[in-house]
């Protein structure tokens, strides 16, 4: 759990792993920062989200699972929350994020997303079909697959080990949240889901 800092004179009601029910102790849309420069938005969840799950953030500071056609701001939920709760969504800084398989080639999955920023950078994309849990797919720099929704402002963290960047995880609904799959350390820089068209 990240410890929030720069709280001002009033302070904050809990760390990033705490979720709240109404009446909320903060105004939805409030921002906070941790001691390592991470930035968080206090969002009202519109669906059940899991810790480490990428979420779509609406203009009214509601956050819910991504869809295959989503656009706009994206963040990473810090705790498991349901549609009657609010909590923190990270939008800037290093965190661990849930991912699903490669969007390009199953053979890529053995090595996982790469930290290389040269000819084969990792690109995070919305999957083309709903998955459970809903998370981001990734591609190793392949830009020849027509149109897709890419996530700008999201990269593999530079301190993620290339050989160990994909780690199998299993969680239950009582802990970090019902995700059976993979996760990777990423760096968020106010991510945005944007449509990209290649060769169309």
Distance CA 160, CA 131 (A): 25
Residue bearing the bigger pLDDT, 152 or 137:
152
pLDDT value of position 61: 97
Q: Say how many Å lie between the first and final Cα of the chain, rounded.
A: 44
Q: Residues 56-66: what's their mean pLDDT?
A: 94
pLDDT value of residue 175? 46
Global confidence as pTM: 0.84
Q: If we measure between CA atoms, which residue out of 92, 69, 85, 93 comes closest to residue 147?
A: 69
Computed over every residue of the chain, the mean pLDDT equals 79
Determine the average pLDDT of the residues in 57-81: 91
Residue 99 or 75, more confident: 75
- Structural tokens at position 105: 């080639």
């Amino acid at each position: 759990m990240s410890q929030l800092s720069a709280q001002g004179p009033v302070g904050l009601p809990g760390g990033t792993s705490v979720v709240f029910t109404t009446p909320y102790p903060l105004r939805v849309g409030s921002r906070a920062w941790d001691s390592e420069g991470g930035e968080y938005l206090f969002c009202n969840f519109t669906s059940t989200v899991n810790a480490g799950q990428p979420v779509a953030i609406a203009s009214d500071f509601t956050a819910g699972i991504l869809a295959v056609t989503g656009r706009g701001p994206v963040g990473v939920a810090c705790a498991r929350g349901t549609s009657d709760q609010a909590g923190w969504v990270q939008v800037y800084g290093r965190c661990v994020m849930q991912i699903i398989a490669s969007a390009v080639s199953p053979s890529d999955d053995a090595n996982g997303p790469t930290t290389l920023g040269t000819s084969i950078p990792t690109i995070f994309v919305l999957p083309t079909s709903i998955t459970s849990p809903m998370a981001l797919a990734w591609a190793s720099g392949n830009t020849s697959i027509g149109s897709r929704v890419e996530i700008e402002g999201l990269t593999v963290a530079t301190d993620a080990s290339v050989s160990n960047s994909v780690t199998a995880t299993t969680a239950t609904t009582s802990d970090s949240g019902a995700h059976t799959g993979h996760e990777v350390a990423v760096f968020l820089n106010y991510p945005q889901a944007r449509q990209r068209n290649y060769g169309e």
